[in-house]
Chain A
Amino acid sequence: MGKRILIWIILALFIYISLPFISDFIPSHELSYVSQKYVTDGPKEVGAQNLVTAIIVTYRGLDTLGEVVVLFIATAGIGFLLSRSRGKKKKRRESSIILQTGTKILFPLIIMFGIYVFINGHLTPGGGFQGGVVIASGILILLLALPDNPLHEFLLSFTESISGFAYVLIGALGLVVAAGFLDNKILPLGKFGQLFSAGAIPIIYSLIGLKVGAELVNILKHLKND
């Protein structure tokens, strides 16, 4: 009984704390100081149409690198906790013919859409994270339709490690050739709004997309029942 009263006291305190936030909330009328700098100088300095991409890949590139590392650590933890238990392969029920045929048609299209999303990350909404997730959901269909065929382990780990390594390598190249770590001006900025513009942003974002996709496929593969 005392526990229940304690819980309601905690919830009442949460409401007491959060009410001022809601009642005194004033919608902002202009951009914050940092954002003003990003919006005015972003197109000139970075050359990316999508300002969100410009901030993720260039201005806050180090944060994104750290975020990919956190994702990697979480995946490694999942792989460690769910390490392969003894063989004992059970014969699985075959998936239906509709799912199998649909997968054959849809799988290449989904992968292609994912690649489109992260290559155009600097022009349209989207980017490495979204594209990686789309690719992971494409491979999820494959896992559902063909449960007996295991994924190519080597290809998966190869993609993951090479894209992570190349990401850091391109970042370090910016240290030598351009102004600093993860600077995108190691390639010419090009014409604003074209596909091949914004320096190294499409390359870096594609690498992030491959890395995120491989990590998420790893999570799904470990959680899949076998």
Chain B
Amino acid sequence: MEFVLIVIISIIIILAAIFAILTKNLVSAIISAGVVSLLASIIYLMLSAPDVAMTEAAIGSGLTTVVFLYALNKIRKSGEDG
């Protein structure tokens, strides 16, 4: 059962990572990079490392995504100003 779950999560992680690289839309790329981190935190929980899982869920999928989006917003704004 656990093995099947790990295989499913691994497939979703790999697909999300490839989608993040290939998509033309930068916002979708950033969000799917966040999905990779969120599912990686489930993997850590299955590997009996709850501390790492908490950190990855909070930093990897929370703050990193926000930092990426803020930077993208800043780039777009500085493009408008000319």
**Secondary structure type dominating chain B contacts:** helix
> Would A220 and B58 be within 8 Å (CB), given that A125-B50, A125-B51, A126-B51 are in contact?
no
Q: Which residue of A lies closest to B77 (CB)?
A: A225
Q: Mark A124-142, 1 if CB is under 8 A from B, else 0.
A: 0111011001101100100
Instruction: Judge whether B46 is part of the interface by a CB distance below 8 angstroms.
Output: no
Measured CB to CB, the closest approach of chain B to A62, in angstroms, equals 20
- What residues on A are CB-neighbors of B67 within 8 Å? 219-220, 223
Q: How many A-B contacts if CB must be within 8 Å?
A: 43
Bound together, the chains give a CA A118 to CA B24 distance in angstroms of 40
Measured CB to CB, the closest approach of chain A to B63, in angstroms, equals 6
Instruction: Judge whether B66 is part of the interface by a CB distance below 8 angstroms.
Output: yes
Q: Which residue of A lies closest to B45 (CB)?
A: A125
Q: Is B70 within 8 A of A133, CB to CB?
A: no
Instruction: Judge whether A50 is part of the interface by a CB distance below 8 angstroms.
Output: yes
Q: Is A129 within 8 A of B55, CB to CB?
A: yes
- What residues on A are CB-neighbors of B73 within 8 Å? 225
- What residues on A are CB-neighbors of B50 within 8 Å? 125
Instruction: Judge whether A203 is part of the interface by a CB distance below 8 angstroms.
Output: no
> Would A52 and B51 be within 8 Å (CB), given that A130-B58, A133-B62, A137-B62 are in contact?
yes
**Secondary structure type dominating chain A contacts:** helix
Q: Is A223 within 8 A of B74, CB to CB?
A: yes
- What residues on A are CB-neighbors of B77 within 8 Å? 225
Bound together, the chains give a CA A140 to CA B64 distance in angstroms of 12
Instruction: Judge whether B11 is part of the interface by a CB distance below 8 angstroms.
Output: no
Instruction: Judge whether B5 is part of the interface by a CB distance below 8 angstroms.
Output: no
Measured CB to CB, the closest approach of chain B to A84, in angstroms, equals 14
- What residues on A are CB-neighbors of B55 within 8 Å? 129-130, 133
Known: A220-B63, A220-B66. 14 other contacts (CB 8 A): A50-B51, A125-B53, A125-B54, A126-B54, A129-B55, A130-B51, A130-B55, A133-B62, A133-B63, A137-B62, A216-B63, A223-B71, A224-B70, A225-B73
Binding site for B on A (CB under 8 A): 50, 52-53, 117, 125-127, 129-130, 133-134, 136-137, 140, 216, 219-220, 223-225
Q: Is B71 within 8 A of A133, CB to CB?
A: no
Bound together, the chains give a CA A225 to CA B50 distance in angstroms of 34
Partner of B66, one of A125, A127, A140: A140
Instruction: Judge whether B17 is part of the interface by a CB distance below 8 angstroms.
Output: no
- What residues on B are CB-neighbors of A140 within 8 Å? 63, 66
Measured CB to CB, the closest approach of chain A to B80, in angstroms, equals 11
- What residues on B are CB-neighbors of A53 within 8 Å? 51
